[in-house]
Homo-oligomer: A and B are copies of this chain.
Amino acid sequence: MLDLALLGTGAMLPLPNRWVASALVRYRAHLVLFDCGEGTQISVRSLGWGIKAIDLILISHQHADHIAGLPGLLLTLGNSGRTEPVHVVGPPRIHEVVAGLCTVAPYLPFELRVAEWRRGDCLTLDDLRVTCAEGVHHVPCLAYRLELPRSPRFLPERARALGIPVQDWKRLQRGEGVGDVQPNDVMGPPRAGLAVGLVTDTRPGPALVDLVHGVDLLVCEGTFGADEDQGRAVERRHMTFREAAMLARDAHARQLLLTHFSPAMPRPEAFADNARTVFGNTLVGHDHLSLSLRFSDD
């Protein structure tokens, strides 16, 4: 199981009633933060999932509305008693940007491990595997995929039929062989895990379709709701609701959650149909909307 909450849904700047776009993922005892604009730490506090467990911060790109809240969040993380290392991942130049911002957070009680990623880079947090792909924006930009694999089901009737004593079942479940019997002999077919795509501040494109292929949830920017803003979306290297829906459709995502709304769009829900005519299972996000993803056969 994996929970995801939108901490904010705004583009460009925080507004009195809308934080800048950011999402928090909860998996077991870990929190993963996606983007950290000005005010994100306040929204984290309001959400109530805690802050100390933020192990990993994924940054899409270096624009202020996606990273300017980092020093404040790190200081508050420090004040929460955090002493374990915190990972920050982002596109090229992330080192320099984090170092600049952290001029006002020079002393942290934990190690900050900053990594510049390119396509192909990945890390695993517990079982959660994080990968990325390059987006297309005015500055280097990354989209991310979080993936939680699921092991096949253990089949006791098969183990019994093969004459494996009950006390040896655990070994097979752990992936060890018992005599001639291999784990695969007593396991069911592969089972679908869970996957989430996190895409913002980019034009759509084949690299993103590949990255988020088959995700259970695609959190994707929809800076502009109206189809008429398509030209503006191209010019500013963002997406319309319709384009985000096409990405979800092409990638065979299960659900689309739109976020990162232009400040000129006070009621994004009004444009929902522009996405839903392309991809029916579309949710228009709002601050603190949260979803729980469960394995499909749970």
Q: What residues of chain A have their CB less than 8 Å away from a CB belonging to chain B?
A: 12-16, 37-39, 41-42, 45-46, 62-65, 67-69, 71-72, 75-76, 79, 96-97, 99-105
**Pair A13/B72 contact, Cβ less than 8 Å:** yes
A interface secondary structure, majority? helix
**Pair A71/B76 contact, Cβ less than 8 Å:** no
Name the distance in Å between A178's Cβ and chain B's nearest Cβ: 54
Chain B residue nearest to A66 (CB atoms) is B104
**Pair A96/B104 contact, Cβ less than 8 Å:** no
**Pair B64/A42 contact, Cβ less than 8 Å:** no
**Pair B72/A64 contact, Cβ less than 8 Å:** yes
Residues of B within 8 A of A65 (CB): 72
The docked-state distance in angstroms from the alpha carbon of A278 to that of B96 is 50
**Pair A72/B68 contact, Cβ less than 8 Å:** yes
Residues of B within 8 A of A68 (CB): 38, 68-69, 71-72, 104
**Pair B101/A97 contact, Cβ less than 8 Å:** no
**Pair A79/B42 contact, Cβ less than 8 Å:** no
Residues of B within 8 A of A99 (CB): 100, 103
Would you mind naming 5 contact pairs between A and B with Cβ atoms under 8 Å apart?
A13-B41, A14-B72, A38-B41, A97-B104, A100-B103
**Pair B42/A15 contact, Cβ less than 8 Å:** yes
Partner of A13 from B37, B76, B96 at Cβ < 8 Å:
B76
The docked-state distance in angstroms from the alpha carbon of A63 to that of B106 is 10
The docked-state distance in angstroms from the alpha carbon of A62 to that of B105 is 9
**Pair A104/B72 contact, Cβ less than 8 Å:** no
The docked-state distance in angstroms from the alpha carbon of A37 to that of B42 is 13
The docked-state distance in angstroms from the alpha carbon of A42 to that of B43 is 13
Residues of B within 8 A of A102 (CB): 100
Residues of B within 8 A of A39 (CB): 14, 38-39, 42
Name the distance in Å between A80's Cβ and chain B's nearest Cβ: 10
Name the distance in Å between A200's Cβ and chain B's nearest Cβ: 16
The answer to whether residues A41 and B14 also contact, given A68-B71, A103-B101, A104-B100 and a CB cut-off of 8 A, is yes
Residues of B within 8 A of A14 (CB): 39, 41-42, 72
The docked-state distance in angstroms from the alpha carbon of A69 to that of B99 is 16
Residues of B within 8 A of A15 (CB): 42, 45
Name the distance in Å between A270's Cβ and chain B's nearest Cβ: 23
**Pair B64/A71 contact, Cβ less than 8 Å:** yes
The docked-state distance in angstroms from the alpha carbon of A43 to that of B103 is 24
Name the distance in Å between A45's Cβ and chain B's nearest Cβ: 6
Name the distance in Å between A223's Cβ and chain B's nearest Cβ: 15
